[in-house]
Amino acid sequence: MDEPWWEGRVASDVHCTLREKELKLPAFRAHSPLLKSRRFFVDILTLLSSHCQLCPAARHLAVYLLDHFLDRYSITTSKQLYAVAISCLLLASKFEDREDHVPKLEQINSTRILSSQSFTLTKKELLSTELLLLEAFGWNLCLPTPAHFLDYYLSASVSQKDHHCHSWPTACARKTKECLKEYAHYFLEVTLQDHIFYKFQPSLVAAACVGAARICLQLSPYWTRDLQRISDYSLEHLSTCIEILLV
């Protein structure tokens, strides 16, 4: 596909399909004894994905796979945990990103994160772990995350009718939209840092990122009719999630 789906003629249909799929996502129970290590491994995946220039959808899918695998299965050794985390990133990048962006084994083992450990990961170990993950998720990686919705909602994030409080930011709609996109993607990355966001549907979290960005930029109203129409969420629906993001 040459153009992003959210810019195409079938954007509304794709959005509806993603909304249907998110209703079938399993609940996150937060039962893993490794939750205390979660932030560390999320940071590893974030750093590696940035190093390999992976798209947000790949990064968010990788974290989703890691969280839900650890929520259901026990891991006993540090090396196994590293292998699972890296394999989640590899699977997500193969599913969501370009082939030339998929991390290579040499890149992974040479990063400071892994080179500081007393082990290296082999191709055989990663392939077997990828297979384990695929079987655990029923060979289904079409799992919507907030990153899959954000750009669609950003397409309606700024209007010529917006009122700019205190004359900031610039009244130029293009520059305002660029600034709002940066804020929204910042909030999108914030959602990776805490599993509390699994309480909400991914589409709601994405919409809340846009809402939080508009609040930060002091755009009035905070939530427009166009945003409510495209997302099917009112500001009241989003208020709890926005509050967590802003805090």
pLDDT tens digits for range 56-90 = 999 999 999 999 999 999 998 888 999 999 999 99
The pLDDT assigned to 169 comes to: 47
Q: Determine the 3-state secondary structure of 219 from DSSP.
A: strand
Least confident span in 44-53, 164-173, 175-184, 215-224: 164-173
Confidence of residue 114 (pLDDT cuts 50, 70, 90): low
- Is the pLDDT score of 245 beyond 50? yes
Average pLDDT (157-184) is 75
User: How crowded is residue 171: how many other Cβ atoms within 10 Å of its Cβ?
Assistant: 12
The pLDDT assigned to 216 comes to: 92
**Per-chain mean pLDDT for the chain:** 90
Average pLDDT (153-170) is 70
186 vs 176 pLDDT, higher one: 186
- How far is CA 103 from its chain centroid? 18
Average pLDDT (168-189) is 83
Distance in angstroms (rounded) separating the CA atoms of residues 199 and 101:
31
The pLDDT assigned to 59 comes to: 97
Distance in angstroms (rounded) separating the CA atoms of residues 215 and 238:
12
Tell me if 215 sits within 8 A of 181, measured CB to CB.
Answer: no
Average pLDDT (24-29) is 95
8 vs 59 pLDDT, higher one: 59
178 vs 158 pLDDT, higher one: 178
The pLDDT assigned to 17 comes to: 96
Question: Closest Cα to residue 227, out of 246, 247, 210?
Answer: 210
Residue 214 CA: distances (Å) to CA of 172, 182, 192: 15, 11, 20
Can you give the pTM of this predicted structure? 0.92
